[in-house]
């Protein structure tokens, strides 16, 4: 994917309950431009930061975006784990608003496609029924085959 274009620099913030995550699904989705990374299908991307929120209520969200911004981050992705864990992160929308307001960076909710097992569990529980969730989840919902590939 060589190009003369300047890469979009991104940072990823994951849920602290997954702090031992090696980032495999996020990085695979970034490489393949799947899930929320499909938005970069025709662009170069450079990952300039990867960290956890710091645990509830997300104290690291106050500081990590500043470091990522110093590294050139233009967009922060709040990882899919913040959506699919149970319960979904109660601070997710606050994180988005805080980062956009205080750091002037775009925030995208999601990284990799939602794994099918999580999709089925949340579907049974009705977690994502309201319109606010449905709008956010569009890039991560993808098709069943792709959700199975991330299970």
DSSP state string for 110-135: --SPPPHHHHHHHHHHTTT-SHHHHH
**What is this structure's pTM?**
0.91
CATH fold for the domain made of 8-149: Rossmann fold (3.40.50)
In the chain, where the domains are located: 8-149
Residues 32, 138: Cα–Cα separation, whole Å: 17
pLDDT in tens, 88-121: 999 999 999 999 999 999 999 999 999 999 999 9
Q: With pLDDT > 90 as the criterion, what percentage of the chain qualifies? A: 75
Least confident range of 31-35, 41-45, 74-78, 124-128: 124-128
Name every residue whose Cβ is closer than 8 Å to that of residue 98 and which is 6 or more positions away in sequence. Answer: 61, 62
| Beta bridge partner(s), residue 76 | 11, 107
77 contacts 71 by C-beta, under 8 angstroms: no
Tell me the C-alpha to C-alpha distance, in Å, between residue 137 and each of 68, 74, 130: 24, 21, 11
Cis bond before residue 57 (omega within 30° of 0): yes
**In the prediction, which pLDDT does 1 show?**
45
């Amino acid at each position: 994917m060589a190009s003369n274009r300047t890469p979009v620099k991104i940072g990823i913030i994951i849920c602290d309950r997954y702090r031992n995550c090696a980032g495999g699904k996020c990085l695979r989705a970034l490489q393949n431009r799947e899930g929320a990374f499909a938005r970069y299908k025709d662009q170069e991307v450079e990952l300039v930061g990867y960290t956890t929120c710091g645990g509830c209520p997300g104290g690291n969200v106050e500081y990590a975006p500043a470091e990522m911004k110093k590294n050139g981050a233009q967009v922060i992705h709040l990882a899919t784990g913040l959506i699919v864990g149970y319960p979904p992160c109660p601070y997710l929308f606050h994180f988005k608003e805080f980062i956009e307001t205080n750091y002037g960076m775009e925030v995208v909710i999601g990284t990799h496609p939602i794994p099918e097992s999580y999709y089925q569990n949340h579907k049974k529980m009705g977690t994502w029924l309201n319109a606010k969730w449905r709008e956010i989840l569009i890039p991560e919902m993808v098709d069943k085959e792709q959700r199975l590939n991330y299970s």
